Amino acid sequence: MRKIIFMLLCLSLVGWQLSAGGGREDNIKIWVGSESRDFYQRKMNEWVEKYNRDNSRPFPWGVVVESVDTGSAAAKFLDDTAAGADILTIAHDNLGRLIAGSSAIGPITDPDLLRQIQNDNPSIFFDVIKGRVSDVEYTFGVPYISQALVLYYNNSFLTAEDVKTWEGIWAKARAAGKQSVTITDNDGYNNSFLVLATRESDGRSVADLYLNSQYQNCNFTSDLALATMKWGQRFFTDVSQDGRTYYGARKAADSGWEVELKNEVSLSLIGGAWHFNAARAALGSKLGIAILPNFTLSQADVAGTNIAAGTVMRSGTFADAKMFVIKKYPRGDQKAEAVQQILMYLSSKAMQEEAFAACANLPAYKNASAEFSAIRAGTIEALLAHCQLEMFARGRPQPFGVNARMNNWYYSQGAPAIVYDILTNARDAYGRSLYDTTAQVKEGMALVEAIWKTGRRPD
């Protein structure tokens, strides 16, 4: 009998050690991008060590940081929420699919963390980190990385003055027999600089996208949108007499945009921070970085509209947050409190500054450009951060986190292909141009708007 009691006691101690000492069966699991895994694992090790020094009892769980692609993290989590992370990184436009129905993730409830979120983030994030469940609004996201598109360019052909406008780049490209700019893809994100453009004078947007989170609040048929797309068509279709060189913009060829930059076929690229290392490898010391250029609407562009010739436009971008969200726990579960304490640490101003210096994560902290020493340094990485943050101020968050259907309708139901067809004046099966006239361009734009609103092309 005594032997049985002793064995049961040993088993209970082993069980306690597995849960309280961080055994594999009960870890706190965190998902971040591969570029950040080692950094955040090291910082969490330090956090646990400090907790154990400062408290009479050790931290009750181990903490394991794993690499998971941000774009697929939400889908992976939904495949098996029980085995999924306690804390995962998502792009904010994936929030809708995680809170659909009864919600697979839990809201942020810690008052100190909510206060930090409110104090440290730009106001454009306040809506995209929230969602409604059973008609009650909650804060679900904790921003800690931001991202926006910028211009990478070849500074042996282009000066800092040239890249202030697309016309400046375009003139140099024509003189050199080169292409002005490559877009990495014709999807609705990487080819969004015109759709998301704004008027310099008053900030009026070319396109309205799901204003006030309403499906029908989309507009892509205004005179400003029409004139902008006609400018874009001139830019994308300017070709040499032999038809071999496009002087304006074009989607990357099959050889890849890196080859186009390296071989000086194209003088610039629209890209994000995730393209930086490849752009630097392609151009080396010739790499320049700038905000996306302005452009000016000509008399030909504004013909048939109420827009004045000479109107100056700013290229646009989505200005997005990568954020932490947490697994939904049963009421009263102590893990829920612990993971929010970890999030206070991981999303803090100090941690965002360290993460930028260690792995070039562009911070979400609203005053990073002025306050972070690594961003004030004269490095190419600091220049990238400055340009992204400046584009961030010119951009807008993807308005798709409220409802997953909006994301699908904007990206996956054919609208981006129509936009690219308008810009390139695509031809039909008989070789006839589809968008030669202003009426044809506007008709194509109306199709795009209808898809955004309904998820299908009108019959």
Query: Which residues does residue 147 pair with via DSSP β-bridges, in sequence order?
Result: 320
Give the per-residue pLDDT at 56.
95
CB atoms within 10 A of CB 362: 23
Contacts of 60 (CB under 8 A, 6+ apart): 19, 20, 334, 338
Radius of gyration of the chain (CA): 25
**Alpha-carbon span 343 to 280, nearest angstrom:** 33
Q: What are the tokens at 411? A: 């990206």
Give the per-residue pLDDT at 307.
98
Give the per-residue pLDDT at 21.
37
E strands along 227-300, which residues?
Answer: 249-251, 268-271, 287-290, 294-296
This prediction has a pTM of 0.84
Give the per-residue pLDDT at 86.
97
Q: What are the tokens at 376? A: 């004030």
Give the per-residue pLDDT at 103.
83
Q: How far is CA 73 from the centre of its chain?
A: 14
Contacts of 177 (CB under 8 A, 6+ apart): 240, 245
- In 309-348, which residue ranges form alpha helices assigned H by DSSP? 334-346
Give the per-residue pLDDT at 397.
87
Contacts of 178 (CB under 8 A, 6+ apart): 157, 172, 245, 247, 264, 265, 266, 267
Give the per-residue pLDDT at 248.
98
Contacts of 124 (CB under 8 A, 6+ apart): 319, 396, 397
Are the C-beta atoms of 293 and 316 separated by less than 8 Å?
no
Give the per-residue pLDDT at 401.
66
* 10-residue mean pLDDT series, the chain (459 residues): 40 37 67 94 98 96 95 91 94 86 89 97 88 89 94 98 98 98 96 98 97 93 98 97 95 95 98 92 98 98 97 95 94 91 97 92 91 90 91 87 82 97 95 94 98 93
Under DSSP, the state recorded for 253 is: P
